Chains A and B, each alone.
Chain A
Amino acid sequence: MTELLLLLIIQALLASVPILLASLGEILMERSGVVNIGLEGIMLLGAFVAPLAVDYLRYRVGMWLPDLVWPIIAMSAAIAIGASVGLIHGYISTYLAGDQIISGVAINLFAAGAVAYGIQAYWGVAGYKQVPDWAKADPMWVTVFTFIVAGIMWYVLFKSRVGIIIRACGEDPDSAYNMGIDVYKVRLLSTIIGSALASLAGAYLSTAYLSVVTKEISAGRGFIALANVVFSNWNPLLAIVGAFIFGFFDALSYWLQTVGVARYEITRMIPYIATLLIVAGVIGRAKPPRAVGKVFRRE
């Protein structure tokens, strides 16, 4: 039993990583004033592109590269796709003054289609592809990396000049603009970096944590991350706590399956029910950045 409990805690830690990475990305974006509900889709794209890129390159570039390199290439590919989607979303949200929520919905829909289509088109299988061992990264690496990112992001947002600039764009873009800050550029860059992190969360799912790509691999984690952003009050360090709680319920659902106490359908509901309860319980004290989701226009 103690062994099983220890397993549960380690699993909770590993399950919290994608939620934390995506939350950190969203915190950065929202602090700069851009809301991105396309996290789910970006995660899905990252989860798909990471193994896709290494599969494609290994066949073409050759096998001579050391094995250590492949996971890095996979992660980089995910970061690249995430950044590209972030560029599109950020550009729409800033320079084009588009509707951020609609753009986010579009990203989710597009990704759901593109990944289901892509798995079928590239591997010729319907929505389920095992990731080969040589493409896999050690989940612990990513876990450590994620915690470092959380620390850095907290420091940058709350202790540095850059952080003041980012937060100013999310709180009061007009004043920020009058102080000579290019609000558009700050928001665009934050969105690119934030989306890249969300995509990395997806790559972690497919190439480190679950070692499989499916067309539903993100399974609502993007939205759980959104809930975690609210839970953490837009604070990267509190997001660690929140991600661990959400990750715990995610891991618990698989753990209960191993223990065999309930039908798997019931255990799979747990993360979503927990999210509902947590969000309902803590939302009262949450205080979003004032200008989040609002279009900024130069006078």
Chain B
Amino acid sequence: MRIPLPLLDVVLTLVTAFAIGAVVMWISGYDPIMSYRSMLFTPLLDYTYFFSALAFSAPIVLTGLTFAVGLRAGLFNIGAEGQVYMGALGAVVAAYITKSSLALPLALFIGLTLACVWSLVPALLKIWRGVNEVITTIMMNWIAYWVVIMAVSTVFTNPLQPEESIKTPEPARLTPLVAGTDLTAAVPLSYIIALFVYIFVKYSVWGYRISISGQNPIVAKSYGIEPMRSIMLSFLIGALTAGVAGVMQVVAKPPSYSLMRNLANVYGLGFDGITAAMLGRGHPIGVAIAALFLGVLQEGARHMQIEAGTPFEFVRIIQGVIILLLAIQMLKKT
């Protein structure tokens, strides 16, 4: 059996990245073997921890899709981070408006609307003024950061627990599918959305238009496809998936069901999505698999910090190295 080259690439990348990571750990005085053991094996050997890894992977699948769909349209949409914040804010606003089970659909509605509004700014600036989306999405991320922090520390603050926002009302919560874990319906939902996005980009007319515009806007134009519409559409799809991720981080995250005042439970998901999208080579199914891997890393990092004392942030170093190696490997294809 021949191993497909892209898969070999990814495996080689991961091995190299972990080797470099080991050197970093060793230099900074931590035990790489013990760290890796608790990071990689603990989440895989206990079902509670594995379900927790799955729960970690769910929002990463969605933010990964944001970036992957952007890539298809030839965009570097790094706006998922801010759109996740806005989605989460939407869920909090819904909880503020009503205490009934209506809060759930309302959370999705407000959260997705806010996320779309957030992506509309870079989309329109790109279309009307040709502004580079990397700069605008980052600026929108920072604006979202301060908007949401302000909202959570003022109107939506929880008087009983000032460190977090008001909680999603009980009837509107997604509860664990397996008791004692944090595996909620958000996990299957995220993977189903990935499947839908895959079908959309692969088999729908609009998905095809997005790909053509991304590969060559001039060719697209000559086929009668308006590249600007594809750009707008891919921004909006990205905002929807990132928005769902944000909403779910509030309505489907036991035990708190709230948004932390320092945004701890939504921070960094956009960046993880970039890694997932790169590692999954921009393919929605690949993104889902990569997100699962990152979910295991996230869960593993908690155990690494407890068992080996190695700081949690190490995971992000590994992610950076992985992407750097992926940047190099592109050369063999072209």
Assess whether B129 is interfacial by the CB under 8 Å rule: yes
A71 to B323, CA, bound (A): 34
Contact A279 B317 (CB under 8 A): no
Q: Mark B309-334, 1 if CB is under 8 A from A, else 0.
A: 00101111111111110111111001
Contact B321 A92 (CB under 8 A): no
| Chain A minimum-CB-distance residue to B67 | A105
Chain A: interface size category: 35 or more
Chain A residues, Cβ within 8 Å of B149: 265
Q: Mark A230-251, 1 if CB is under 8 A from B, else 0.
A: 1000000000000000000000
A98 to B271, CA, bound (A): 21
Q: How far is the CB of B316 from chain A (nearest CB, A)?
A: 3
Contact A102 B326 (CB under 8 A): yes
> Which A84-118 residues sit within 8 Å CB-CB of chain B?
88, 92, 96-103, 105-114, 116-118
A291 to B280, CA, bound (A): 29
A279 to B134, CA, bound (A): 12
Q: Mark B2-44, 1 if CB is under 8 A from A, else 0.
A: 0000000000000000000000100011100000000000000
Interface stretch, picked from A132-140, A149-157, A269-277, is: A269-277
Q: How far is the CB of A101 from chain B (nearest CB, A)?
A: 6
Contact A113 B317 (CB under 8 A): yes
Assess whether A163 is interfacial by the CB under 8 Å rule: no
Contact A96 B275 (CB under 8 A): no
| Chain A minimum-CB-distance residue to B328 | A98
Q: How far is the CB of A112 from chain B (nearest CB, A)?
A: 6
Contact A102 B278 (CB under 8 A): yes
A107 to B136, CA, bound (A): 19
Contact B314 A280 (CB under 8 A): no
Assess whether B139 is interfacial by the CB under 8 Å rule: yes
Contact B28 A122 (CB under 8 A): yes
Assess whether B265 is interfacial by the CB under 8 Å rule: no
Which of A88, A102, A120, A269 sits near B330, CB closer than 8 Å? A102
Total interface residues on B, CB under 8 Å, equals: 50
A230 to B135, CA, bound (A): 10
Contact B317 A110 (CB under 8 A): yes
Assess whether A192 is interfacial by the CB under 8 Å rule: no
Given A114-B317, A116-B316, A276-B125, check contact A263 B311 (CB 8 Å).
no
Contact B311 A92 (CB under 8 A): no
Contact A106 B146 (CB under 8 A): no
Contact A117 B135 (CB under 8 A): no
A101 to B78, CA, bound (A): 12
Chain B residues, Cβ within 8 Å of A273: 139, 143
Contact B139 A105 (CB under 8 A): no
Assess whether A268 is interfacial by the CB under 8 Å rule: yes
A-B pair number, CB within 8 angstroms: 147
Contact A113 B323 (CB under 8 A): no
Assess whether B147 is interfacial by the CB under 8 Å rule: yes
Q: How far is the CB of B130 from chain A (nearest CB, A)?
A: 6
A135 to B150, CA, bound (A): 35
| Chain B minimum-CB-distance residue to A93 | B327
Q: How far is the CB of A124 from chain B (nearest CB, A)?
A: 10
Contact B324 A117 (CB under 8 A): no
Which of A98, A116, A226 sits near B311, CB closer than 8 Å? A116
Contact A103 B131 (CB under 8 A): no
Chain A residues, Cβ within 8 Å of B121: 276
Contact B30 A121 (CB under 8 A): yes
Given A110-B317, A226-B134, check contact A275 B28 (CB 8 Å).
no
Contact A102 B327 (CB under 8 A): yes
The secondary structure that dominates the A interface is: helix
Assess whether A266 is interfacial by the CB under 8 Å rule: yes
A41 to B147, CA, bound (A): 24
Contact A113 B328 (CB under 8 A): no
Chain B residues, Cβ within 8 Å of A118: 28
Chain A residues, Cβ within 8 Å of B78: 105
A269 to B146, CA, bound (A): 6
Contact A120 B313 (CB under 8 A): yes
Chain A residues, Cβ within 8 Å of B140: 272, 276
Contact A107 B134 (CB under 8 A): no
Given A98-B328, A106-B327, check contact A279 B131 (CB 8 Å).
yes
A88 to B327, CA, bound (A): 11
Chain B residues, Cβ within 8 Å of A49: none
Chain B residues, Cβ within 8 Å of A97: 331, 334
Contact A92 B328 (CB under 8 A): yes
A179 to B88, CA, bound (A): 57
Contact B147 A269 (CB under 8 A): yes
Contact B129 A272 (CB under 8 A): no
Chain A residues, Cβ within 8 Å of B327: 92, 98-100, 102-103, 106
Given A121-B29, A265-B147, check contact A276 B139 (CB 8 Å).
yes
Q: How far is the CB of B83 from chain A (nearest CB, A)?
A: 15
A96 to B333, CA, bound (A): 12
| Chain A minimum-CB-distance residue to B134 | A37
Contact B147 A283 (CB under 8 A): no
Q: Which residues does B use to contact A, with CB under 8 Å?
A: 24, 28-30, 76, 78, 121, 125, 129-132, 134-136, 138-140, 142-143, 146-147, 149-150, 153-154, 271, 274-275, 278, 311, 313-324, 326-331, 334
Sample (29) of A-B pairs whose CB atoms are under 8 Å apart: A88-B324, A92-B324, A101-B76, A101-B134, A102-B278, A102-B330, A105-B78, A106-B321, A106-B326, A109-B275, A110-B316, A112-B271, A113-B313, A113-B316, A113-B319, A117-B28, A121-B29, A219-B142, A220-B139, A265-B146, A265-B147, A265-B149, A272-B140, A275-B135, A276-B140, A279-B131, A279-B136, A280-B131, A284-B129
Nearest 10 CB-CB pairs, A to B? A110-B320, A113-B316, A265-B150, A106-B323, A106-B324, A116-B313, A102-B327, A109-B320, A113-B317, A120-B311
